[in-house]
Amino acid sequence: MQRVKSGDVGAFETIVQRHKGLVYGLCFSMLRCREDAEEAAQDSFLKLFRNRDLYDESRALEPWLLRIAGNTSRDLLRRRRNASLPMVREREGDLLMQLMEDPKSAQSSDQAATRQAVRQAIEQMSDRFRLPLVLRYLNGLTNHQIAEALGISLSNVKVRLARAKDVLQSRLLEARE
């Protein structure tokens, strides 16, 4: 990031390549639309470059970048709501759903039903619970990184993760009945 601060475009491109999947995944999990997620991810990297002098090198880059992406996605949601444009939900392109599927493994009908129930339960969660769950278990972020990325306290991350797991468990039990 030090080279990016000095204006090195090559170093910036390296950061984009290294983090584009993570940033896009967060944007998509918030926006649920491929085009909007691509726009938000691109805007996030532009904001990172424009505000590179504000970066505190004593801290990790990833949480700062994810916070930019989260804020950019929320701004885009607000703009869309204010303009009364309908949000298109693209289920087949959902990164979360793709990560949960393993097409190489043979699945029994019970496994397929369970996967479908998990997908539906996560999809129906509010952003408040879905985002920490996705960031923790699909993107592998630590609770500290999630707190920084979402701009919430560490204890709030823990509470949201626990509630998300409770919601997931209760919906899976309902689906089995």
Flag whether the pTM goes above 0.85: no
Mean pLDDT of 120-124: 83
Q: pLDDT by residue (tens digit) across 88-108?
A: 333 333 444 444 555 444 456
- Domain 1-90: give its CATH code: 1.10.1740.10
Do the domains 103-177 and 1-90 match in fold?
no
| Total Cβ atoms within 10 A of residue 141 | 23
Which CATH number describes the domain made up of 103-177? 1.10.10.10
Contact call for residues 142 and 158 (beta carbons, < 8 A): no
Which residue type does 134 have? V
Which residues of 45-174 form beta strands (DSSP E)? none
What residues does each domain of the chain span? 1-90, 103-177
